[in-house]
Amino acid sequence: MQNDVQSIPDLLRIGPHVTLLPIVHGSGQFALTVRKWMLDKNFDCLAVPLPRSFQGCVESAILDLPRPSIVIQRPQTDAFAMGDSSNFSAPTDWDPETEEQDDPETPPISYVPIDPCQGVISAIRAALGEHLPRVFIDLESSSFQPFATVMPDPYAVKHVAPEQFAAAVLPAIPRPPDSQTENRIRYMAGRLKKLESRYQRILMVTSVLHWPWIREAYNSLSDTADPDLSDFNDSEPRQDSLLTETYDIEPKTLTFLFGELPFITSLYEKARSELENDENMQIDGVKELLIAARDAYRSDLQDRGRRVTSSHLSKCLQYIRNLSLIHRRLTPDLITIVTATQQILGDEFALRIAEIANQYAGNSIPLSNTKDHHCVTLGIDQARLPNGDTHATVSRLPAPPVMWRTIQLQRRPNQTEKKDWQYNWDPFSQCSYPPEDSRIETFRSRVFARAKSILGSDLAVTEKFTTSVKDGIDIRDTLRHWHEKQIYVRVNPPNRGILDACVMLFDSPSDPREYPWRTTWFAEHQDESTLAFYATHFRDELVGPGIGMGTYGGALFLYPPKAIPDIWQDPRLDYCETLEERLLSASCLHSAGKEIALLSALPPGAGWRKLAKRYKKRLVHIPLSSFSDEHIQQLRRVHVLNGTEVRSYADEFIRKR
């Protein structure tokens, strides 16, 4: 016992038998610190900074972890008469961001969040596991007034001792702003003084904002020769006026209950259940979040999305770190993570970050069935109870205050909206999206230029340098004839003929079942090509009213544009067996030049070269890898508008990245 007492810093000891551990509520790092203290040091009693009326419900709810819940105590007013709400259910259309309180003069209800990353909850959980006595020592109050303020990033406690963290923030800790908090502090100090007669090693886990004032109140009692502790009796509270209730939480609103992100909280619980190391979970959890979002992104979009590589994730982490430092934080919040991923990987990826970050446990931790349990729907400082009433709320374990912040993300449509858009689609009217037309035509010009440079390099000759370097020094031939002490120069012949056809094969070999939409589009003006392509069907993915999206599998461009029969209905091409062969045959059939530009991942095989030779054409191959994968994935998306009038608002629904 003597060794345990000596290992506790003097700053945290307020008496021979009492130790205060100051924490920041709602911090996973402090929850780990509390658990470590409970396991490393020998205590025989845990003093809990909550009223005794909460003890039964709180401890019962903690035994149900990892299932989160909330313990509510309503204020003692006629408007909050306790009743049976078993026949009521929470409405499903409530938005906690926009909902207003029914009566702003009604006193708020107080609650205790059963959060695994809450330091006090972690202490009670450890005490229950070690069978230590728990004494709830806070003052009973029907109307609770919280005491919270902005605090330094709790992640600092990973690198400094708790007493060093507390000493560092001590000059900035204000005195209690109200009489209720002062009374509570004096009451808890008196209860601690009284507990010393029964226990030798008492630990109290309390807010860092309360810690110096509890110490001060305790010392004022100690300085009294014969302290009068009659006011600090242990009688049971009046159960008729201070009842508590336990409710489950609507899963979509868990972010308003937890101090950490629900996804990271579930990682803490998973590591606890599997006895894994969770010392770096607050940072590793961000990496796990990015990986989980990447897997969901790949699963949902498959070939339609951009390829998210480890380099992209590394840039996201670096961006997240920089934004966190700008905001004077050591760890990122959700808005920082979403902003960084949106800037680097676009709205689609950022949406999945936001969704997965608010998912608790996934499939690894069992949750309650919300259909069989009465759930509370939470917002910031407000809640909707199962009976449908909306009330203001205050936490008995208040974390640093939070506020609403906005970020512009283009949301995905729900199933009801998609059905309405499908029903209202006019099958006899469709057109393209002009910005995509300009983008794909610019890319087609780049492919033509690359093909012409390849043609020129194949026909180039070298000659000895005389009076001009012509088209540049040929290093290869110069080195080859170095013994002659002669410089050779390169001569590119003038470009002969025309290059008016380009075939782009983005997915080869292509599965015809994946690309059922095959059509030929004609140019609206002279700057556009005649375009024939096969793609996924735009009606399968509607992104807005009158806006569908498909993904190119392959495309044929004829420029300057010309009127041709639909290549997918032309009987002259019926001998082709694959989608790629039909595009190549159509390009050879309708091209006026002798060369066809072919953009594909692999060079053309003997069969394709034989097919081109049949039409007396030559395929000029441009590797698909010579262009950035990100740019290619963006070009593959094609949006179809249900009439030219849709172009006026299409920008609001089409993601730019």
Q: Are residues 618 and 555 in the same domain?
A: yes
For residue 434, cis peptide bond before it (omega within 30 degrees of 0)? no
Q: Are strands 431-432 and 390-395 parallel, antiparallel or unpaired?
A: unpaired
- Structure tokens belonging to residue 163: 């007493």
DSSP string, 288-302: HHHHHHHHHHHHHHG
- Structure tokens belonging to residue 257: 């209950």
pLDDT score for 41: 87
Q: Are residues 233 and 269 in the same domain?
A: no
pLDDT score for 6: 53
With respect to residue 390, please indicate whether it lies within any of the assigned structural domains.
Answer: no
- Residue whose C-alpha is closest to residue 214's, from 22, 64, 434: 22
Point out the domain boundary residue: 317, 334, 359: 359
Q: Are residues 65 and 77 in the same domain?
A: yes
pLDDT score for 238: 46
Evaluate whether 532 touches 556 at the Cβ level (below 8 Å).
Answer: yes
For residue 171, cis peptide bond before it (omega within 30 degrees of 0)? no
With respect to residue 419, please indicate whether it lies within any of the assigned structural domains.
Answer: no
Q: Are residues 246 and 338 in the same domain?
A: no
Tell me: the pLDDT tens digits for 270-288?
998 888 888 888 889 999 9
Q: Are residues 352 and 470 in the same domain?
A: no
Point out the domain boundary residue: 187, 220, 255: 255
Q: Are residues 175 and 305 in the same domain?
A: no
With respect to residue 81, please indicate whether it lies within any of the assigned structural domains.
Answer: yes
Distances (CA, A) of 191 to 19, 32, 88, 132, 215: 14, 26, 40, 18, 13
- Structure tokens belonging to residue 636: 């593959």
With respect to residue 523, please indicate whether it lies within any of the assigned structural domains.
Answer: yes
Q: Are residues 71 and 200 in the same domain?
A: yes
Point out the domain boundary residue: 310, 328, 359: 359
pLDDT score for 411: 77
Tell me: the pLDDT tens digits for 16-66?
889 999 999 989 899 999 999 988 888 999 999 999 999 999 999 999 989
Q: Are residues 468 and 605 in the same domain?
A: no
Opening angle at CA 430, ends 429 and 433, nearest 5: 150
Domain count, the chain: 4
Range of the domain at 19: 2-255
Q: Are residues 14 and 118 in the same domain?
A: yes
pLDDT score for 458: 59
With respect to residue 520, please indicate whether it lies within any of the assigned structural domains.
Answer: yes
Q: What is the dihedral of CA 55, 57, 63, 67, to 10 degrees?
A: -140
- Residue whose C-alpha is closest to residue 144's, from 184, 90, 84, 88: 184
With respect to residue 394, please indicate whether it lies within any of the assigned structural domains.
Answer: no
The DSSP secondary-structure symbol of 237 reads P
Q: Which residue stretches of the chain have pLDDT < 50?
A: 1-2, 78-104, 224-240, 362-372
pLDDT score for 76: 66
Q: Are residues 567 and 479 in the same domain?
A: no
With respect to residue 211, please indicate whether it lies within any of the assigned structural domains.
Answer: yes
Q: Are residues 437 and 489 in the same domain?
A: no
Beta bridge partners of 431: 641
Evaluate whether 477 touches 498 at the Cβ level (below 8 Å).
Answer: no
pLDDT score for 481: 82
pLDDT score for 31: 92
With respect to residue 483, please indicate whether it lies within any of the assigned structural domains.
Answer: yes
pLDDT score for 4: 54
pLDDT score for 132: 92
